[in-house]
């Protein structure tokens, strides 16, 4: 073996040095994908954490510049791959604003239903993996069980289970048929039962409480300064929800609460997400009652060659997903930019890390609900 390939023993940089630099990831069971965090340890205590991203970079924004407007839709699925509908929504909204397309009411309601089911599914997988990060394996499989009924609904309506390509500029691809409504009903009933079970199994577990309380504190001012959004922002006590404060689609006709936390630690963010699931169920039930008959696809121009720029943002499960589109009169977008909440939230890791233990690191990564497909795009 050549000498330069030979692995060297652990050496301390100099006599008396106390720090140990360890790579957490990109292959690590708790970094939720290919995140690499360079952590500096003093014993078990973290002194610094330095996230290293880019392992999943796919040039999504650049690729979009070579596609026509409708062709971009499937690529948006791949950003936050456990909440594809809300990503599609951000792009569809931006494109509709750029093109001046009207969306029929029925399509808007279908979007709301699909979007809220997607939020539930995203929070479910977060709940399961957050519990697993703390060493509790069983909640993960419980979450998987409800997720299955939810994906059955998604599959019945869209034909696929995870990456849907369901929204269209000006509407949606399919209507929800009888099978779909029945599958949705099964999912809602399963969720009602499940939320109670999760509470008894995990929320009030004393070990979980001591693990999550006080970890990753974020004051309201800090949260705003860091550009946090979604449950991370609301966990710090800032009641901001785009569905209520900047209503898009038909959210202004639906009644729901915006749960907020108080101390802004990992436990508060956990509670906010759990309460959001209840609110999502409320929204879906109202939308089912209100949904009108009619078309699911609005009128769109034959050749989409817009000029100008448009910006649209939606409240995705992880935070605010936004899309900025510039058109220059050709069939391709001149520029498209994607704002992803996970990328913004990732900068909280170095802020939180010093003074915590290695075991807290996985809680910190879990509490921002990180999806690497969205961080790297």
Report residue 136: phi and psi, to 5°.
-95, 110
Cis? peptide before 312, omega within 30° of 0: no
Binding letters toward another protein, positions 209-238, x by CB under 8 A: -xx---------------------------
Nearest to 255 by CA among 112, 106, 110: 112
Query: Which of these segments, 46-54, 81-89, 129-137, 171-179, binds another protein (CB under 8 A)?
Result: 129-137
Interface of this chain with another protein, residues 237 to 276, rule: CB under 8 A: none
Per DSSP, the residues of 288-335 read HHHPPPS-SB----SS---EEEEEEEEEETTEEEEEEEEEESSSSEEE
Is there a contact between 25 and 35 (Cβ–Cβ < 8 Å)? yes
Q: Which is nearer to another protein, 133 or 374 (CB)?
A: 133
Note whether 326 and 312 are within 8 A (CB).
Answer: no
Which tokens is 361 given? 């690191």
Report residue 11 CA to chain centroid gap: 40
Give the nearer residue to another protein in terms of CB position, either 292 or 355. 355
> Would you put residue 230 in left (φ > 0), alpha (ψ -120 to 50) or beta?
left
Q: Does 41 bind another protein (CB under 8 A)?
A: yes
Residue 135 near another protein by CB under 8 A: yes
Site string for another protein, 172-211 (x = CB under 8 A): -----------------------------xx--x-xx-xx
Interface with another protein, residue 353, by CB under 8 A: no
**Least separation in angstroms between CB 201 and another protein:** 8
Written as six digits, the tokens of 11 are 């050496």
Q: Does 29 bind another protein (CB under 8 A)?
A: yes
- For residues 304 to 343, the per-residue mask of contacts with another protein, x marking binding by CB under 8 A and - elsewhere, is ----------------------------------------
**Which position among 57, 145, 161, 351 is part of the footprint of another protein (CB under 8 A)?**
145
Contact between 360 and another protein per CB under 8 A? yes
Residue 136 found at the interface with another protein (CB under 8 A): yes
In the bound complex, what is the minimum distance in angstroms from residue 360's beta carbon to another protein? 7
CA dihedral 133, 229, 35, 65 (to 10 degrees): 140
Quote the least distance from Cβ 145 to another protein, whole Å. 6
Place of tokens 């979009």: 64
Handedness of CA 92, 94, 95, 96 (dihedral sign): positive
Query: Which parts of this chain interact with another protein (CB under 8 A)?
Result: 1, 6-10, 20, 22, 28-30, 41, 43-44, 131-138, 141-142, 145, 201-202, 205, 207-208, 210-211, 357-362
């Amino acid at each position: 073996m050549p000498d330069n390939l030979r692995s060297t023993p652990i050496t301390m940089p100099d006599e008396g040095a106390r720090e140990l630099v360890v790579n957490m990831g990109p292959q690590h069971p708790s970094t939720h994908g290919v995140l690499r965090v360079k952590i500096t340890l003093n014993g078990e205590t973290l002194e610094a954490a330095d996230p290293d991203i880019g392992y999943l970079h796919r040039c999504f924004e650049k690729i979009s510049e070579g596609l026509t407007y409708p062709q971009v839709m499937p690529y948006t699925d791949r950003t936050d791959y456990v909440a594809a509908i809300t990503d599609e929504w951000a792009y569809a909204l931006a494109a509709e604003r750029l093109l001046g397309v009207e969306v029929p009411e029925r399509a808007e309601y279908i979007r709301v239903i699909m979007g809220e089911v997607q939020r539930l599914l995203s929070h479910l997988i977060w709940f399961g993996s957050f519990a697993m990060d703390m060493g509790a394996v069983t909640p993960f499989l419980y979450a998987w069980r409800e997720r299955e009924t939810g994906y059955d609904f998604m599959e019945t309506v869209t034909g696929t289970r995870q990456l849907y390509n369901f929204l269209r500029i000006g509407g949606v691809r399919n209507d929800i048929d009888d099978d779909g409504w029945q599958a949705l009903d099964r999912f809602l009933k399963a969720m009602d039962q499940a939320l109670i079970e999760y509470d008894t199994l995990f929320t009030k577990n004393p070990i979980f409480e001591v693990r999550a309380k006080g970890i990753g504190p974020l004051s309201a001012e800090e949260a705003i300064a860091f550009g946090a959004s979604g449950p991370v922002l609301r966990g710090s006590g800032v009641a901001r929800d785009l569905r209520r404060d900047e209503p898009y689609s038909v959210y202004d006709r639906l009644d729901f609460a915006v749960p907020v936390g108080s101390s802004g630690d990992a436990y508060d963010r956990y509670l906010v997400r759990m309460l959001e699931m209840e609110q999502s169920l409320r929204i879906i039930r109202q939308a089912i009652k209100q949904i009108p008959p009619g078309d699911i696809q609005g009128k769109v121009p034959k050749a989409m060659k817009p000029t100008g720029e448009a910006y649209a943002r939606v409240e995705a499960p992880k935070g605010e997903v936004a899309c900025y589109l510039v058109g220059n009169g050709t069939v391709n977008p001149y520029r498209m930019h994607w704002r992803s909440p996970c990328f913004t939230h990732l900068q909280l890791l170095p802020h939180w890390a010093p003074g915590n233990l290695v075991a807290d690191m996985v809680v910190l990564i879990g509490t921002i609900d990180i999806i690497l497909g969205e961080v790297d795009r």
